[in-house]
Structure 1
Amino acid sequence: MPPHAVVAVLRPVLGGLAAAHRAGLVHRDVKPENVLISDDGDVKIADFGLVRAVAAAGITSTSVILGTAAYLSPEQVRDGNAGPRSDVYSVGILTYELLTGVAPFTGDSPLAVAYQRLDHDVPRPGSVIEGVPTPFDDFVACATARDPAQRYADAIEMLADVEAIAEELDLPDFRVPAPRNSAQHRSAALHHGRRSEQQPPAPPPQAPVRQPTRQLTRGPGDWPQPEPRTEADSEPEDDYEYQPVSGEFAGIALSEFAVARQNGRRMVLIWVALVLALTGLAATAGWTLGSNLSGLL
């Protein structure tokens, strides 16, 4: 990517990490696969699953190494410790890859890739590809220093340096284009193509029938909305008679989703009735005991 596109990616990524670091959270798995670009060009840092996993399982820093080998910081490889400076290192590797199109370390196995960073510095992007401005070389060098104390303290400090570099180089604003050949877009195009081929002929005109608010066979922007209710149509929404759902989603018949939803509603009603019954019994027992307490004593 050219420098102005790299800055357009780093700003929101570091903004998200800065919010996490302020809250005392460490991402632990910053990598290109966790940087998402929407169709509108919004860039987001995703997948804080390792933060939740560590908190839920009570994993200590020395018991297991968490993260992706190509983006681990030296301290994560050495002893499993991870802090905001570890995320800074991973963003430095990400920046190197954005600028050069290649990863700084390669090896025969993930473990070999991970251990290379214990003895080798990340090369300057300008030594791999021509035209990289010197401030970006310095930025990557600072972010990927093997000694955590020589790196940016957190994403907040790192983001401030990105803004300073963008101002120094007078980089134009840029909106990152979403990849149009992604697996998601190819899957959606294939799905809609099959749906159009299987579309039955239009039925003869008849009285309008309410449609479900969402159908899994349609895209998010194509979900139909329920028709406006009238005074004559005052039954509860749960009594709506929806059209039978047909077709498949992810290889599963949509009718199974409808049945599962109905079963879920029945289970909720059963649990509510059970809780109310137990509450009533407890209240009755408490009232009876309180009324006859003096006799019992």
Structure 2
Amino acid sequence: MSESLTSLLTLMSCLRDKESGCAWDLKQTYQSLAQYTLEEAYEVVDAIERENLADLKEELGDLLFQVVFQAQIASEQKVFDFDDVVNGLVDKMLRRHPHLFPGGELSRFGEASELSDEEISLQWQKIKAEEKARKGVQSQSILDDVPSAMPSLMQAVKIQKKVAKVGFDWPDVAPVFAKIREELDELEEALSEQDQTHVEEEMGDVLFAMSNLARHLSVSPDVALMKTNVKFRRRFRRIEELLGEREASLQETSLEELDKLWDQAKREGL
């Protein structure tokens, strides 16, 4: 094990030391850390999208810390430790890439493989099924292994990919556009009924259809929306700057004028 990783694991055990550790760290559980793990993962993606490698290095460290933290808690409970996490990952990757590591042996990397791309894909599915069988997972549905805690748009795409593999999918993008128009019409109808529960349901259908369109276009809806959020914030900050130059406030500025400033920000390439 590298010296840097040994230091990190030692640091984590010190933070969780029952006599001299940090009070906040000692209070944490698997459940309480879940939200921080998710936040750190998103911050990694954000750094990548901003192409800020200095921030990426830091955010990857923060994400790694969450892994070490969870493993430390498990070690204290004598369930598993960090080495078990790493060894399990290595074993799984070797098992899932027999075309690269014949016999699941790391030392055999580089030996020629005679498997075609289609055979590799079929082999991957077989290996995944065998892994589920070893875990004793009795799936009643092909959707059982889609995590319900996954962010909604990401979950929608994963669901759609699963059912597409068994033929439950449109052959091209044209009917997806038609479905979106259909769902928008149903949303508009729900609005006219002034039934908030129905509106929420139809809004969900619109978002599901939009995520399906993104999948057909090979676009991640989460990443696409994140980029739009960044763009919106950038342009809105410019509006605030322009108003500041005029010593005017947002509250005192009409929507028409705000739209003009927005167009200016767009023309400036923001």
Normalising to structure 1: TM-score of the pair?
0.23
Normalising to structure 2: TM-score of the pair?
0.24
* Greater C-alpha Rg: 1
Identify, as 1 or 2, the structure richer in helix: 2
Higher RCO (C-alpha under 8 Å, 6+ residues apart): 1
